[in-house]
Structure 1
Amino acid sequence: MADSPAPLAVVRKYFDALAAKDFATVSATFADDIVWHQPGTNRFSGTHHGADAVGALIGGMMTVSAGTFALALTGEPLANGALVAVPVRFSGDRDGAKLEQDGIDLLRIEGDRVAEVWLFSSDPASEDAFWGTV
């Protein structure tokens, strides 16, 4: 589409909304058939299909962390066509446990929506320990 925003603009809108905990806008950036690849072996790990499933995943993370889960950019997003790599730092508190580590989020943009997301964590074992199993 000629009038679609560039991938970087879509990614910035998504991360700005996430930082503001504006989950309605976050959800509006997702394609209906989004595919989300969550790393690790914890309760949230695996491939999630569809905007409703991804919304439930993010909502679950907010619930488990009592609303403390946060994600911040640590550098500029980098685009290569429809793919955008974003250096991030994510954190949260859960029952006295703390999560704070770096990662890379890789997003594939189609038109004005996030179509697919791959997440990479710098310390997957500690992230798994933080989120726990079901």
Structure 2
Amino acid sequence: MAEHPHATLVREAYDAFLRVDLDALRGLMTADVTHHVPGSHALSGDFKGQAAVIGMYRRLFQETGGSFRAELRHVFVDGRGHAVALHHITAEREGRRHRVDGCLVLRIVGDRITDIDECVDDVDKENEFWG
């Protein structure tokens, strides 16, 4: 049985992110995409529109000297425009290593990602690493 198109879209987005192909990633999102990042650090908040979301991703790579990685572990879809992507994050910043599991809850309209809610297992740990 073929993979659901929404799962394929999420896999394509993670692949583009890992290649740091931000133009390809932009093509997988709606113009008004929003990425919600939990926490109370400089990279948390609501990023609205492709420019803001891609700018935040650039900053992730800059802040970590290019070491930021999100290894996709599994994708769940409901066939109605929702997907959950489980991933493992690794990054290094200011001599500190970051290794955490998390997920993205994505909303998909047509064949584009329109909303991304990021979930982490320890908000305090995120604040400490990015603070």
Aligned to 1:97: 96
Any idea what the Cα deviations from partners look like across 1:85-108, whole Å, max 9, x if unmatched? 011111110110111100011111
Equivalent residue of 1:11, what SS? helix
Gaps of 5+ in 2: none
Kept in 2, the 8 Å contact 1:10–1:109? The answer is no
For 1:125, what is the secondary structure of its paired residue? helix
Partner of 2:77: 79
| Helix, strand or coil at the partner of 2:98 | strand
Give a deviation string over 1:1-23, Cα, whole Å, max 9, x none: xxxx8212211110111122222
Q: What does 1:1-134 correspond to in 2, within 5 Å? A: 6-74=5-73, 76-80=74-78, 81-132=80-131
Alpha-carbon distance between aligned partners in 1 of 2:15 and 2:6, rounded to the nearest angstrom: 14
Q: TM-score, normalised by structure 1?
A: 0.89
Deviates more, 1:22-31 or 1:42-51: 22-31
Describe the superposition over 1:12-60 as per-residue Cα deviations: whole angstroms up to 9, x where unpaired: 1101111222222112211100011111111011111100000110011
Inter-partner Cα distance in structure 2 for 1:46 and 1:21 = 22
The two structures, once aligned, show a CA RMSD in angstroms of 1.2
Report runs of 4+ in structure 1 exceeding 4 Å deviation: none
Number of paired residues? 127
Question: Could you list the runs of 5+ residues in structure 1 that have no partner in the other structure?
Answer: none
Structure 2 Cα separation of the partners of residues 43 and 92 of structure 1:
16
What is the rounded CA distance, in whole Å, between the counterparts of 1:129 and 1:27 in structure 2? Answer: 29
